Amino acid sequence: EAQVTQNPRYLITVTGKKLTVTCSQNMNHEYMSWYRQDPGLGLRQIYYSMNVEVTDKGDVPEGYKVSRKEKRNFPLILESPSPNQTSLYFCASSKMPGAGANVLTFGAGSRLTVL
Amino acid sequence: DAKTTQPPSMDCAEGRAANLPCNHSTISGNEYVYWYRQIHSQGPQYIIHGLKNNETNEMASLIITEDRKSSTLILPHATLRDTAVYYCIVRVASPQGAQKLVFGQGTRLTINP
């Protein structure tokens, strides 16, 4: 089944404890992206990647890192999490280029709580 | 990017057609209209997209006005499982367009039994 898989789905951690949210897709998509969703603010893009070793900042990149060493994986790294990073996180991927570029497949989400 | 305007909420009876409007009066010639939906806190789900012509797939139909300034997503026989937030997005169909797909507040559609 074509899908985007995120782990963990739920995580409670403490301030300053480094964590990584993994994202993997099995569709051979070039494009991958991370979003966070907060009440009243909608979905906001954190980082995106157009291909292996190519990443760029989205709207809210502060406090996050990403890497794209392999085409299928795009982990989101919180080096020193803070309570304002408590949120629901989504990873998404799509093929490129053309009209299919904006047909994103989303993961099921990772709910992160930072105490 | 063209700005989109959607009603914040709508209700529809189960089994009836749900018609969700979207205004995009500043859309440019190379921008597509995309629709996604998000059921509760699940990941958003792609529904349909189009440029000029009306489109239909197994989930829905997309009707785009001739001047392309507005569109309507039609769920022909709404079920309770169609209760979700529906997002209308206008974006160029290119890698650059995919860089920042902006999800607004959408329309919260409630299907009533």
Contact at CB, B98 and A101, closer than 8 angstroms: yes
- DSSP secondary structure string for all residues of A13-79: E-TT--EEEEEEESS--SEEEEEEEETTTEEEEEEEEEETTEEEE-S--TT-EE--SSSSB--EEES
CB contact under 8 A, B100 and A31: no
Q: For B33-89, how does the pLDDT look when each residue is reduced to its tens digit (9 = 90+)?
A: 999 999 998 999 999 999 998 999 999 999 999 999 999 999 999 999 999 999 999
CB spacing of B95 vs A45 below 8 angstroms:
no
A98 has pLDDT over 80: no
Question: Mean per-residue pLDDT for A55-67?
Answer: 95
| Percent of chain A scoring above 70 in pLDDT | 96
Q: Look at B43 and A101 and tell me if their CB atoms are within 8 Å.
A: no
d(CA A115, CA B34) in angstroms, rounded, equals: 37
* Residue A42 to residue B105, Cβ atoms within 8 A: yes
> Residue B94: which of A4, A42, A97 has the nearest Cβ?
A97
In the structure, what pLDDT confidence band is assigned to residue A100 with cuts at 50, 70 and 90? low
Q: Which of residues 43-62 of A touch B (CB under 8 A)?
A: 43, 45, 48, 50, 56, 58-59
> Quick one: average pLDDT of A39-45?
87
State residue A97's pLDDT score: 60
Of B43, B101, B106, the CB nearest to A102: B101
